């Protein structure tokens, strides 16, 4: 959903989760990928064939 450019609220609505839960999951993804923002995360995930 991040790679599609969806907002945290839109992701939360699509997955039937709270916005806070989505934020925490995305924060964990950033830590695991060692990135600091959405653009870096998407680029690194594509480079490593994760998406």
Q: Rounded to two decimals, what is the model's pTM?
A: 0.81
**In the chain, where are the structural domains located?**
8-48
> Which pLDDT score, from 0 to 100, does residue 1 have?
92
- Transcribe 3-43 into DSSP letters: TTT--HHHHHHHHT--HHHHHHHHHHHHHHHT-SSHHHHHH
pLDDT digit string, tens, across residues 1-51: 989 999 999 999 999 999 999 999 999 999 999 999 999 999 999 999 988
């Amino acid at each position: 959903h991040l790679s599609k450019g969806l907002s945290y609220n839109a992701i939360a609505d699509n997955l039937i989760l709270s916005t806070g839960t989505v934020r925490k999951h995305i924060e964990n993804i950033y830590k695991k990928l060692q990135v600091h923002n959405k653009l870096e995360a998407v680029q690194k995930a594509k480079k490593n064939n994760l998406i």
